[in-house]
Structure 1
């Protein structure tokens, strides 16, 4: 049995992981849907990692799944506890010393997403489920976005990147290039948008379990 540690993106309540967590549990695995202190102006990246480690407790067989802005936290967790695999799920990939606020221009995201699109997050999520998920949106403090990513290099842990082909926030072509440049690997791909854990939870669970 593995323990999937699900690290959310910005301004997200961990409840948006519920459909995926349920699918993973039916496949015989444990899950931790991490609750980050995203509304706390005194909490930065270190405190986000602290929160994740505290909620992991003494669990073992850890697979860290970092979504979106959670990409800045996931690798920090891997430096703190024994992790078998880090999965970056359509996530921001930090470089040493880079702040999350700098990431957008440093990666060329602004040029890659000049075209205006509607419904960036929930365009492929069933309407009823999207409405439920939006109820759990939270405030996001700007504190962690101003802090340099503290690791001198990527943690020594096996890493996969799973991009979403229909993602409107992090378009597939853009992310393929970022993954090659920053991780030196070819990303794996899945159909679905940025909130793939809501639009395709069973398919995503199969992909994650397949990594075992």
Structure 2
């Protein structure tokens, strides 16, 4: 059975998990909006996008895909699914077709994140060569990632990071869903994880409806109402 009511799928980014949407989900559920916040493997851009796409395909009806940070790159690819009707980027990467995270980021000066990254080898099944997990230095995480989030919560997030495999930075997006789907973008103007100009550039290039919030990178936890309002706008566009 299909439904015309859109489902919001919340796609988290690197160094975080679905709990990063914990303050936004209740706002949306209170409005009667269907929500799903899956765990992203954070192993490769193409693999992560394929996983999210497989979830989207199982949803009977239209989908609004919301991506935070690296999750923006993921929805850029997964958003090509037929039932995705709108995209929302939160402090995210809006890649061009054929562009990688490293290429987009390389156009602009580094943020404070660059000097705080930690690289750790991890075993890859079926290979003698290890992969590389990327995380944020635990001591630096609160200031760089979550400066305006409750300090106790920021410290908890710092020790519970979901790493991103280093290979994801070099993979090119095979498609840019924003070219065919209406899109919204939120710039975190006090972001120390992604240079806000990276966000602005990607959104402007895509012709998105854009808002700016004076926020750290974790805008969903710091300013959930503003985030929920932007998602509501995208949801209304699907129902219009």
Q: TM-score range by the shorter chain?
A: 0.7 to 0.9
Shift of 1:52: 1.0
Shift of 1:62: 1.1
Measured at CA, do residues 203 and 96 of structure 1 come closer, stay the same or move farther in structure 2, by a change above 3 Å? Answer: closer
The answer to whether the 8 Å contact 1:15/1:136 transfers is: no
Shift of 1:157: 0.5
> After TM superposition, what 4+ stretches of structure 1 lie above 6 angstroms from structure 2?
none
The secondary structure found in structure 2 opposite 1:187 is: strand
> What stretches of structure 2 of length at least 5 have no aligned partner?
117-139
Structure 2 matches for 1:36-47, cutoff 5 A? 36-38=40-42, 40=43, 44-47=44-47
Structure 1 residue aligned with 2:164, among 140, 149, 158? 140
The answer to whether the 8 Å contact 2:194/2:217 transfers is: yes
The secondary structure found in structure 2 opposite 1:96 is: coil
Match of 1:149 in 2: 173
Is residue 198 of structure 1 aligned with residue 199 of structure 2? no
The normalised TM-score by structure 1 is: 0.83
Measured at CA, do residues 37 and 172 of structure 1 come closer, stay the same or move farther in structure 2, by a change above 3 Å? Answer: closer
Q: Which of 193-202 and 49-58 deviates more? A: 49-58
How many residues align? The count is 205
The secondary structure found in structure 1 opposite 2:54 is: helix
Query: Which protein is richer in strand relative to its size?
Result: 2
CA RMSD, Structure 1 to Structure 2 (Å)? 2.7
The normalised TM-score by structure 2 is: 0.74
Structure 2 residue aligned with 1:14, among 14, 18, 24? 18
1:116-175, CA deviations, whole angstroms, 9 ceiling, x for partnerless residues?
Answer: 996111100012322333343122212222212112774410011111232222344553
**For residues 191 and 229 of structure 2, what CA distance do their matches in structure 1 show?**
19
The answer to whether the 8 Å contact 1:32/1:55 transfers is: no
